[in-house]
Structure 1
């Protein structure tokens, strides 16, 4: 089913055939849901998407169609596209003015994602899932995604880095949230070169990344060894509000140097059994003269046994943070009890 509107129809949507879209030169809006990649290739080569005020394109999804929020959006499920699309053609399928891009199930068709997005300078939301060949999200110097605000990546088994070694000024400068799930080869989320660009970051969520060892890469000295805490460069994330770390069994460090997060409101950490220390700068009590967490901080939710086993750089730190501690298991039990009580009252 395809819905369009044009100057002649005064923005009234109605269903049309593919042939009508190709022959129409006054389109201003296109909402399209197609199962056939072959049909989409025909349309994308004939339409001037840069002339449209709005388009929402959903291609190949049979179930669980994603909700597209931006005005110029494209969602492609490539599970059944292997016979109809080559890797060289993928770039042609992505309109240059797309602001929201969803790619699922590319299997082994996409290895270097950013090379297909060289001209997608307006991208604000990126959602990449179940793409087995991708090793790096951003490795192109031509497009450093300065407008990207939301990045969701899931089940990329070969992903080894978010950004390549060359990080241009302004790279991901507007990124507000990053959600990483099930990337089993990813050992570090942010390199030192990248983290200094992320001044707009508000939320970090990492889930089921079993190889993850550190969130922010530690600096190395000339011998390739980790720098000491005192020698490490301070990291400042002025807008970070929420940090969620879940099922990261090999995580040993959030950051080994000083970190400053004056806007942090909540931390949730579950099943990170190798993590035994939290940077006090997360809470605004890195310096000795600070006698309480920052005024924005609300709570840290974690398992009680893990909380009790943590090591602290300052003896008074645990005492200062205890009022903000929420037992994960107790909270989960309270929520279940509330649901049962509500259902019983209906």
Structure 2
């Protein structure tokens, strides 16, 4: 567990890189006066026992994580979620890259105290890049039906078969490029043009190899 002493604070933390800590369980436990308003980059890799980065009861303030721009996670199998959202909406987040976190279900779950306006719609104003690989249990990027990301440029996904929805995007400007398996793309759920959420608003690029549905035939002769 990473825990500051009584005389220390994470208030000025701007960059966090944690790698290869086999006994680490929780990175940042709850603290009523920690807003993490200065953190810009978070990187974590090879944490085989880490089930939590920021706990669900983390302090909720409008300035919390307002400077966070980049999230990178690799090979943290026990993680179920990354950062709970309540009264803050990550206004400067630009890039999310996560791979080989086999238990991850939600990147940004909603806290129980989340206001209704956020619970119904979460907007990531500056999010440009999403890269998600081998997240077998991922269900949602954010635990809300509608996510908007008007600045989105690229989405790259592999082996995230449980994910059914992409963020809504801008009706104007270049279309975001989605690099993914064709089978996955064909099964996505959409809200339609009125919500800026339909396939025609994206440009797809399917990998040469993708999983195909096998015919239902007997292998017995």
Pairwise TM-score range, normalised by the shorter structure: 0.7 to 0.9
8 Å CA contact 1:302, 1:326 repeated in 2: yes
Q: Aligned ranges for residues 86-125 of structure 1 at < 5 Å? A: 111-115=1-5, 118-119=8-9, 121-125=11-15
Deviations 1:16-40 (A, max 9, x none): xxxxxxxxxxxxxxxxxxxxxxxxx
Q: 2:139 aligns with which of 237, 245, 252?
A: 252
Aligned residues: 201
Q: Residue 319 and residue 264 in structure 1: after superposition, are their counterparts in 2 closer, same or farther (change >3 A)?
A: closer
Q: 1:304 aligns with which of 170, 176, 182?
A: 182
Q: Residue 135 and residue 199 in structure 1: after superposition, are their counterparts in 2 closer, same or farther (change >3 A)?
A: farther
Give me the TM-score of the superposition, normalised by structure 2: 0.77
Q: Aligned ranges for residues 50-89 of structure 1 at < 5 Å? A: none
Q: Residue 116 and residue 242 in structure 1: after superposition, are their counterparts in 2 closer, same or farther (change >3 A)?
A: farther
Q: CA RMSD in A?
A: 3.1
Deviations 1:68-115 (A, max 9, x none): xxxxxxxxxxxxxxxxxxxxxxxxxxxxxxxxxxxxxxxxxxx22455
Q: Which residue number in structure 1 is paired with residue 156 of structure 2?
A: 268
Q: Which residue number in structure 2 is paired with residue 103 of structure 1?
A: none
Which stretch of the first structure deviates more once superposed, 305-314 or 268-277? Answer: 305-314
Q: Which has the higher contact order (CA 8 A, sep 6+)?
A: 2
Q: Residue 131 and residue 262 in structure 1: after superposition, are their counterparts in 2 closer, same or farther (change >3 A)?
A: same
Q: Which residue number in structure 1 is paired with residue 217 of structure 2?
A: none
1:183 aligns with 2:76: yes
Q: Residue 215 and residue 297 in structure 1: after superposition, are their counterparts in 2 closer, same or farther (change >3 A)?
A: farther
Deviations 1:150-190 (A, max 9, x none): 11011222323332313242222211101011111111222
CA distance in structure 1 between the partners assigned to 2:72 and 2:37 by the alignment: 18
Would you tell me which structure has more helix in proportion to its own residues?
Answer: 1
Q: Which residue number in structure 2 is paired with residue 126 of structure 1?
A: 16
8 Å CA contact 1:158, 1:183 repeated in 2: yes
Q: Which residue number in structure 1 is paired with residue 204 of structure 2?
A: 325
Could you tell me how far 1:141 is from its partner in structure 2? 3.7
8 Å CA contact 2:128, 2:152 repeated in 1: yes
Paired residue secondary structure (1:301):
strand
Give me the TM-score of the superposition, normalised by structure 1: 0.51
CA distance in structure 2 between the partners assigned to 1:235 and 1:215 by the alignment: 13
Unmatched tracts of structure 2, length 5 or more = 210-221
Unmatched tracts of structure 1, length 5 or more = 1-110, 222-229, 285-292, 331-346
Q: Residue 219 and residue 193 in structure 1: after superposition, are their counterparts in 2 closer, same or farther (change >3 A)?
A: closer
Q: Residue 296 and residue 216 in structure 1: after superposition, are their counterparts in 2 closer, same or farther (change >3 A)?
A: farther
Q: Which residue number in structure 2 is paired with residue 166 of structure 1?
A: 58
